[in-house]
Amino acid sequence: MDYGDSRIKNVYRRWNPNSFETTLIAAHLPKTMCREIPDYYPIVDKQTAQPVIDTATGEPRMRSRWVAKDRNEAIRYFTEVLTYYTREVLTGGADAIHGFDINFDESTPHIQIMADTLAPDPKHEGKLRVDAARMWGAHRDVTVDKIDKVTGHPVIDEKTGQPQQVMEQPKAKMSRYQQGLRAHMINRGFPVESDYDPERHLSGLGKDEYAEVMDTRRQTLDQTEQLKVKNEDLKQREASAEDYHARLDTYRDNLTKEDKWLRYACDQVDQEKSRVASRSRDLDDREADITHRDQHAAEKLSKASAELEAAARARAAAKRHQETLEEREERVTAREAIVKDVNDFLDRMKTPAKETLREHFETFMHTREKKRQRIKDKYRADAKARTHQGERSEPDRGGPVLGG
């Protein structure tokens, strides 16, 4: 704490209380340097704090623990991580590191580095400056070649003949740091893949985030298997539906020419069913409706034309209604997003007095309302006084009033 405070005091410009002082960097030991212990930790639901149960087996779901194959080699790996960040990432160098901790007793061996965002100020010798944007954000001093999205090649400046430069964005910067770290570790002889593999590295995630990613991955695999089973069942249902449609087509082929409008209606229904094939309940309802229509086709032939026209109007009205609902929903969603953004902005932004804009606005409105009330009270008091004064000066109505 004293070391960090002394560095903040050495910043040349006035320190902004909203500026973050430190950042936590986490790097995990690659799986190639670890030995897996399967089914070591139970997966716990974050909301209920209870173990997650596998629906297929009824047993709690478990996740693995990874331990270092060679503890000394792991320490050498983490030492090189420190070296890389102090030389290539932290502009404040080794002085920016407040401390680090290597953990071997958790789900995956990892190092946590506590570093600040300060670096030497080139304009003021012996002083520091806040360098967070240069390291982690976008800054005008950190640029890269502008790449054409179509060709994938740098965009050349017509005046200079050199590639145009743009500020390197945070996402691209983090990707460059990852690539640099992998190249650094490969050069030091560690078994690290040259290509980034998010399933094997997950560098930068903390302990909780890393465990959550692994739990989510296992849950996704389980859900994928369940979806496969449901997909097979859906295919069987679709096959049954296709067989049913084939029987309907045979029945329709045997109808007379007088049934052409009815067949047209059935074709329209078939097209509608194909668009909502994934809705099994709706498909069952439509199949029952078609069967009902076929059974009563003979007695409804005379009314088929009118019913078709009514059905067409109903579908058109339903479509218009659906479009109207979708438009309303989009407008409501957009308004809710605006309201949420405004509320977040009012709650997040602060005045120089360290109160949020919402608190400042409410105080202002309360003050203005009190001022308005005082003006109203004064106006009423003045009006009452003038009325009272007028009553006192009014002449006696019993006799004539002589003019001056």
pLDDT in tens, 55-76: 878 888 888 899 999 999 999 9
Q: Can you give the pLDDT at residue 205?
A: 46
Q: Which residue has the tokens 């089914």?
A: 39
Burial of 281 by CB count in 10 Å (0-12 exposed, 13-18 middle, 19+ buried)?
exposed
Q: Can you give the pLDDT at residue 277?
A: 75
Cα separation, 238 vs 236, in Å, equals 5
- Crossing angle of helices 280-295 and 207-253, in 10° steps, is 10
pLDDT digits (tens, 9 = 90+) for 154-166: 999 888 999 998 9
Q: Which residue has the tokens 């067949």?
A: 263
| Exposure string for 284-314, b = 16+ CB within 10 A, e = fewer | eebbeebeebeeebeeeeeebeeeeeeeeee
Query: Residue 343 in contact with residue 356, Cβ under 8 Å?
Result: no
Low-confidence ranges of the chain (pLDDT < 50): 198-207, 401-404
Q: Can you give the pLDDT at residue 14?
A: 76
Q: In the numeric block, which tokens belong to residue 401?
A: 């009033």
Q: Can you give the pLDDT at residue 204?
A: 45
Q: In the numeric block, which tokens belong to residue 322?
A: 């659906």
Phi, psi of 11 (to 5 degrees): -70, 130
Cα separation, 172 vs 330, in Å, equals 33
Q: Can you give the pLDDT at residue 248?
A: 76
Residue 103, beta-bridge partner list? 110
pLDDT digits (tens, 9 = 90+) for 218-261: 556 566 666 676 777 777 777 777 777 777 777 677 766 667 77
CA distances from 127 to 15, 71, 96 (A): 13, 40, 13
